[in-house]
Each structure stands twice: as C-alpha cells, then as structure tokens.
Amino acid sequence: MALPDPVSVAARAPTPALVMRVVKADGYGSERRDDNGSFAIIASHTPTDGKAVERHYLKVSETKDATSPYTGGTSKQTAIVTLQANFPPFGWTAAQKEAAVMVLLDYLQDAEVTIAKWLLSQS
C-alpha cells in the first residue's frame, strides 16, 4: 500500500513545515522532494523471497548553500541521515519488526541519550 501523496511533515525548529511530493516511484520505493527542493526523502524496500534478508531503507537529505569557515566561499552542501532495518526471512512478526525499529527511535529520544548528545559523539 502506498503512502499518500503528498505527505506533510510538521515544522520542528529550525526546519519549516514540509510538503513532500512523490517525484519518482516504483513497486519497491519512492523519492519525495519538498517544494523548495531543499529536502529529499528516499524509501526503498527489498522484500524477502524466504531465503534472503528483508531490507527497509529510509534516507533524508538536505541540500543548501553554506559558507566555508576556512575560505569564506559559498558552495552547495548536503547532509544525509539514514535508517535501515534488516530482518531474516523468518522469526519476526510484523509487530516485532515495528517494535525493533521503535527501540532505536526511543533510545535516541531517551533523556539519558538524546539526539543532541549522540551528535556530540557521546556513546
């Protein structure tokens, strides 16, 4: 089942609200972009045939003009964040797969961990 098009993403400072529209899709994933072209989200899925790993991949990228602190020159720079889930062909139900992904998301948002601390290389 496909997600709606577009998908609205709520604002979270400093990022504004985004409307992510499909620009490319096939039976195994999609690419969405915001109206300004700064953000892209790529989703891909590799189903299992009963022998191989089932893979789900999500990538968000933001491209912007940034000023180099070394040269003072401006150039396009891209930041990328990915999430990937791999499951063996058997042993996990759909609910268990979802729970496994949620453990990672909950870990990052735990008050003792936080995304900010993780980005400061604390582990």
What are the backbone angles phi and psi of residue 53, rounded to the nearest 5°?
-70, 140
What are the backbone angles phi and psi of residue 84, rounded to the nearest 5°?
-135, 140
Tokens 């720079």 map to which residue? 77
pLDDT tens across 77-100, in order? 999 999 999 999 999 999 999 999
Task: Tell whether the torsion through CA atoms of 51, 59, 19 and 11 is positive or negative.
Answer: positive
pLDDT band at 52 (very low <50, low <70, confident <90, very high): confident
Model-level pTM? 0.86
Please report the domains of the chain, with CATH numbers, ordered by start residue: 7-89 (3.30.380.10), 92-123 (no CATH)
Give the pLDDT of residue 87.
94
